[in-house]
Amino acid sequence: MRGSPRSLAPARAVGLVALLGVGLVLGTTHLPAQFDLANRLTPGAPKSGGAEPVTRTRVICPGPEAVGIEALADRPAQAVSMSAVAAPAESLPSGIGTDGGAGLLTISQLPPGTGSAARGTVRGHVVSLRLSTARSAVITGAGAMAPGTVATQWSWIRRGNARGVFTTACAPPAESSWLVAGGAEPGRLEHLVLANPGPNPVTVDLSVLGASGPARPANGQGLVVAGRSRRVILLDAIAGREPSPVVHVTARGGTVAAVLSDSWLDGVVARGGDDSGPVAPPALEQVIAGVPIDGPAIVRVAVPGDGEAVVQSQVLTPDGPRPLPAGGVTRIAAGSATDIDLSSLPAGAYAVQVRGDVPVVAAVMVQRRRAARAPSDLAWSGASSPIRTLGGLALPGAGLRGFAARLDLAATGDAASVRVTTVAAGGRVDVRRVSIGADSVTTLPLNGATSVWVTPMSGVVRAAVLSTAADVAGRVLSLTPLVDLELTVTPATLRQLPD
């Protein structure tokens, strides 16, 4: 390890290495600054400090979801855009800050290649990359650019079989991910993208919860994702024609970033699609922010455990909570998933709150269609955890004509307030304080912004961004929940061992 004093006796060095092995069990997402042992070791007493800003963050974008599918011989042409940004200083919580030193934000391809890359050194300025090959992308924030680094993958397909807007927040790799999307209608396809940023192969096991109960298909076990590579699987080959699939991805020997892309072609009519990233892990309460209902909509709830669940669901509105017209209380068998219809709700902005007597996972799908036989679009919004420190998103389609974005905020329990920071294309930063009523939702237009940041001030808040675009066939849409970002790490305490 760099900086280790060479004068340490062998026994003392072994003890010190053992302490470091225990103290530095680090995730692949956030790495603290390197340790200077010569400065930190104090004879006879431990040396420790408070929380420090992270100095390295890493998230993974899936890349073109329909390129390189194992179950299909052909490789359709597809291109996606990645936008990455580090939080502006105005959005960071009090006491976090940065040291003002050098920093770097980079987007690179996975697997590594000779293709293009992108980098930036200014907070709040978006760094972009476009990919059309069977690769994922790694976004890394280093040094002063690490705290509050986020990235978004997006694509806007204006015509053809895959018409729609697809967005996903690029996420860190994990050992366990829950993904909710898809259906059994003819022409519906779900592409599961597994990306492994590490150097060693990772083994992945897939299980599926659905209307008929749990399944661990044999061809979904022991899937190997090579080091610094990705693998794309057609979910139909794993789960068959399951009408309400919920996928659990479990990695062994490392971590993977997982995204489930849902697309639907009804004969020759494009019905749209969206990407669904990992939802909040199983819990007694799940809240889905960003539910713009104006037509068909469902909330999908799954029960991962061994016991039946009694699930109570309601919607949160700008005027407070409201019961569902039907299905407000639902029994769901162990290991299964159920779709609860929301279509009869009046058009408007909602959040959905789901409570179970055992842990559940949940997500919402909404649809838009101008006429019965016209092209349509669909969007998925997954349950997310409350924002405790900072949530942010690089906005897809920023600056494109016809593209618009809206921030949806949902407060549960007591009233809440947040600081919303937006950055415009020219770098101008706007900060405002927004209040949300108890068990209510509030929306905020984001026109002209390239990124948005939510800093909680009081209460329990979740957030999502609604992205919309217009073409000759109507409007297309996508939903992207904001996740809570880890901004600090606590350095390990080091003690010099006696001779």
The whole-number pLDDT of residue 98 equals: 59
Has residue 494 been placed in a domain?
no
Region 88-99: mean pLDDT is 79
29: pLDDT strictly greater than 70: no
Q: Label residue 310 by pLDDT band (50, 70, 90).
A: very high
312: pLDDT strictly greater than 90: yes
The whole-number pLDDT of residue 97 equals: 61
Has residue 29 been placed in a domain?
no
Q: Looking at residue 344, what DSSP letter applies? A: T
Mean pLDDT of the residues in the chain: 87
Residue 371 makes CB contacts below 8 A (sequence gap 6+) with: none
216: pLDDT strictly greater than 70: yes
Q: Label residue 66 by pLDDT band (50, 70, 90).
A: confident
Among 38-47, 170-179, 231-240, 344-353, name the one with the lowest average pLDDT: 38-47
52: pLDDT strictly greater than 60: yes
Region 316-344: mean pLDDT is 97
Q: Label residue 484 by pLDDT band (50, 70, 90).
A: very high
Residue 327 makes CB contacts below 8 A (sequence gap 6+) with: 313, 340, 341
Residues 414-440 pLDDT 10s: 999 999 999 999 899 999 999 999 999
Q: Domain residues for 295?
A: 57-481
Among 60-69, 203-212, 215-224, 441-450, name the one with the lowest average pLDDT: 60-69
pTM confidence score: 0.87
Residues 101-110 pLDDT 10s: 789 999 999 9
Has residue 493 been placed in a domain?
no
The whole-number pLDDT of residue 283 equals: 98
Give burial (CB, 10 Å; 0-12/13-18/19+) of 194.
Answer: buried
Q: Which residue has the higher pLDDT, 252 or 69?
A: 252
Among 65-69, 168-172, 207-211, name the one with the lowest average pLDDT: 65-69
Residues 363, 46: Cα–Cα separation, whole Å? 47
6: pLDDT strictly greater than 60: no
Would you state the structure tokens that stand for residue 416, as one six-digit string? 């809440």
The whole-number pLDDT of residue 99 equals: 60
200: pLDDT strictly greater than 70: yes
Has residue 13 been placed in a domain?
no
Q: Looking at residue 40, what DSSP letter applies? A: H
The whole-number pLDDT of residue 5 equals: 37
Among 54-63, 74-83, 256-265, 478-487, name the one with the lowest average pLDDT: 74-83
The whole-number pLDDT of residue 177 equals: 98
The whole-number pLDDT of residue 439 equals: 98
The whole-number pLDDT of residue 116 equals: 72
Q: Label residue 452 by pLDDT band (50, 70, 90).
A: very high
191: pLDDT strictly greater than 80: yes
Q: Label residue 227 by pLDDT band (50, 70, 90).
A: very high
Would you state the structure tokens that stand for residue 7, as one six-digit string? 């004068």
38: pLDDT strictly greater than 80: no
Residue 43 makes CB contacts below 8 A (sequence gap 6+) with: 496
Has residue 330 been placed in a domain?
yes
Among 155-164, 375-384, 486-495, name the one with the lowest average pLDDT: 486-495
Residues 384, 390: Cα–Cα separation, whole Å? 13
Region 327-342: mean pLDDT is 97
331: pLDDT strictly greater than 60: yes
Residues 105, 90: Cα–Cα separation, whole Å? 18
The whole-number pLDDT of residue 9 equals: 42
CA angle 212, 216, 220 (to 5 degrees): 125
C-alpha 347 chain-centroid distance: 26
Has residue 1 been placed in a domain?
no
Domain total of the chain: 1
The whole-number pLDDT of residue 399 equals: 84
C-alpha 9 chain-centroid distance: 47
Has residue 197 been placed in a domain?
yes
Residue 10 makes CB contacts below 8 A (sequence gap 6+) with: none
Contact by Cβ (8 Å): 473, 451? no
161: pLDDT strictly greater than 90: no
Residues 105-128 pLDDT 10s: 999 999 887 667 889 999 999 999
Would you state the structure tokens that stand for residue 277, as one six-digit string? 């990233």
Has residue 25 been placed in a domain?
no
